Structure 1
Amino acid sequence: MQPTSPNSIIWHFPGVKLCRKLHDRPPFLPAARAGWQGLTGIESANGNHQGLAEMTEAGPHGKTKDPVSTAVMARCIDHVNLSVRNLEISVDFYSRLLGIELKEQGENGGTRWCILGAKDRFYVCFFEVRDGSYKPGDIHINHVGFVVDDMDETVRRIHGLGIRLAFNDKPVQWPRSRSAYVVDPDGIAIEFSERFGGGLDP
């Protein structure tokens, strides 16, 4: 995988290239808050560019694709990357709540970042945005969901940390499972479900 210019990076697959914009990406996989512009489209082997909206409905030659046979088969979500106002406060909150530890930290263009995680569980990444504000009515992460083995024990431990649950300080009963919700220091909700995917797939 080699960048074709200082501002772009191309991922090569047979007959297709996935194009991403790149500006001062930090030295690890999660996307930087500022600059990493995201997937912009597909460029076929003959150089024709196709937007994502077109690509999702039809293949490079206009034929509808089977979403399973053409999809990238990721095993699970590896990490979530959050923008936070205060790195120290967020690190303290998430490390105590989730039992994860600081793995790596640094600074990129004046923006501090770090990664918390636990081997074979998950990772949570943070970028510090000192003047940022959480805007529920705008584009944002609505909540981050985790699955737990014992809901009652989970609630007991959350209360033991001095944290109250959202929704009257008790779990929410959904049609197939229960979920407990807490809110982090920046207003981002965290869900703990007693069934993976909320029991959508028995």
Structure 2
Amino acid sequence: MSTLMPLLTLMVTLVLAAFNVQAALPGDSIYQLNSDWQNRQGDSLSIQQLVGKKQIVAMIYTDCITACPVIVSEIKSIQAALSPEQQQRLGFVLVSLTPARDTPKVMRHFAKKRGLNEHWTLLSGSDEDVRTLAMALNIRYMGLADGEVAHSNAITVLDEQGRMQLQQTGLPGGPAALIEKLGL
């Protein structure tokens, strides 16, 4: 019984800590969404696990040949303009608009092909969770008969607590202008 007590205490502490983190989030935080995702390694990830640093978020699909490669290239140009210290304070998140097709294996291949390093989180979720997140981020999308997806081409920046800090299409003024807005 005495060996179980420290383990039980640890478990209760972890549960309470998790509850307090979520309770401390502002009401307009994206991290309030109760959604579970799968990353490119195939691990489950709660959206709340992104709390703690600013995130640049885009909703894409990996087999897109038009807008999505441009979005990823623009975000990569932001990353390239950052110092290593700035990169530690910022995450890059790509959320799949076609979760049935964008399996962890497909996302790993996409990340490797595009040169996306450990600062990038690629997420795939249920159709419902993708739609809910898109609505929360004010991203519109619609599947087309040919398998393509028409979607908003927005880059969204979330603050450390998951509140929308800014959203824009493209990089008017280049990466430096967005980095200045980030206040890194």
One fold, TM greater than 0.5?
Answer: no
TM-score by length of 1: 0.29
- Per the normalisation by structure 2, the TM-score is 0.30
Larger strand proportion, structure 1 or 2? 1
Q: Which has the higher contact order (CA 8 A, sep 6+)?
A: 2
